Amino acid sequence: MKSLLSTTLTLCALQTISAINLPFRPVAHKPQIPVMSEPQDMLKVPGDNNATYGPVPKAEQLLQVEHLSIAPSPIPVNKIFFTLLRGEILPSKRENLPNLAHLLATATLTITSSAVLADGTHLAPQSYTVPFRTTAFADSAHISIRNRTGSYVEHFDGTGTNDILSDYWIPGMWLQTGMWTFEVVVKLGDGKCLFAISLTQWLEKKNL
């Protein structure tokens, strides 16, 4: 099962990384594309990152984000990078969620990736969903959750400040060069959005 989850997560982050069987076609001159494309109607997530709130509007998200740190940032290829998202569900919002513990225990994490390749080809969005909990995806990625006391827990508990930590790596040999967009959306068991974050970045195919 862990092997299957590992494969799923890797495929997700690289557009089914998939397009392994689609030949990479280099261009003579690299387009002058910025590392981050941030539409004016998008709000930056606080912290050391180049991410914005979305695709769910910030006003519809339950989590009050204190900060999101991504290191290194921009994210590298063929190297492990780390994220730390810290925040809490404010008491005023918890009051309207009487079954919050159950809703968090049944929450899901959806990662959607899409890209505009160096030759202008658009890769259609691909989405993958896994349970939102402390998880080890074989050796390729880990998600850990800490509660307000700093103890590691299985689920986001919704009381006080919680931390969500992850480590991951993007294998460059399977990557197609282009401008990639990754959207991470966590939803409670009833469909309400805990948080939603989007990141757009130029990534290049690299062999180990």
Give the pair of three-digit tokens for residue 28: 């003579």
The pLDDT, as a whole number, for residue 56 is 96
The pLDDT, as a whole number, for residue 207 is 82
Q: Which long-range contacts (CB under 8 A, 24 or more apart) does 23-30 make?
A: 24/176, 24/177, 24/205, 25/118, 25/119, 26/118, 26/177, 27/118, 27/119, 30/118
Q: Does domain 51-203 match CATH 2.60.40.770?
A: yes
Per-residue pLDDT of the chain in tens (208 residues, 90 and over written 9): 433 334 334 444 434 333 323 333 333 334 444 444 444 346 999 999 999 999 999 999 999 999 999 999 999 999 999 999 999 999 999 988 989 999 999 999 999 999 999 999 999 999 999 999 999 987 779 999 999 999 999 999 888 999 999 999 888 888 999 999 999 999 999 999 999 999 999 999 988 7
- Longest Cα–Cα distance of the chain, Å, equals 58
Contact 46, 68 (CB under 8 A): yes
Query: What is the model's pTM?
Result: 0.79
Which residue, among 186, 190, 199, has the nearest Cα to 63 in the 3D structure?
A: 186
Domain ranges within the chain, ordered by starting residue = 51-203
Radius of gyration of the chain (CA): 17
